[in-house]
Structure 1
Amino acid sequence: MKAMNYRTLVKKINEMEKGDEFWVNSINLSEKSILALRNFIQTGVIQPDEKEIQENIVEEYIEDFKTGKRIFPQMLYIKL
């Protein structure tokens, strides 16, 4: 996804079909958008791509990224 505001981010994620993948550069997101992204992860609407998690995150922090406690600066996500 390109840089976008909170409403656009939420609308795009809600409109996606199960299994759709999308890439997010969270560096360009507002704090409110990051909180929305985190909420989508925590509520099971989306999840970070498992392959990218394994390749880019050290073992001790993997669970933090899977649960939305931490947000990776650039990550591929999947709509559940």
Structure 2
Amino acid sequence: MKSESNIIGAFIRQRRKLLKLTQVQLAAKAGVGLRFIRELEQGKGTLRLDKVNEVLQMFGHTVGPVPMKREEGVG
């Protein structure tokens, strides 16, 4: 199973490529550094949530609470 950071990173990479943006261009438009974009797309597990949201807002999205599926007999 993909971790949440890998899912978000894959989403960002896919949207960036659809818009034909380089990582440098996306970083400039979102107001974050190139290193941050690279780490985000690579699925780094520890990133600043405010910066993740700055990038996601470029694509009309934001990070928010999502219910977790519960396995039967758990909780």
Q: Same fold (TM over 0.5)?
A: no
Q: Which has the higher strand share?
A: 1
TM-score by length of 2: 0.35
Q: How high is the TM-score relative to the length of structure 1?
A: 0.34
Structure having greater relative contact order (Cα 8 Å, sep ≥ 6): 1
Report which of the two structures shows the higher radius of gyration computed on alpha carbons: 2
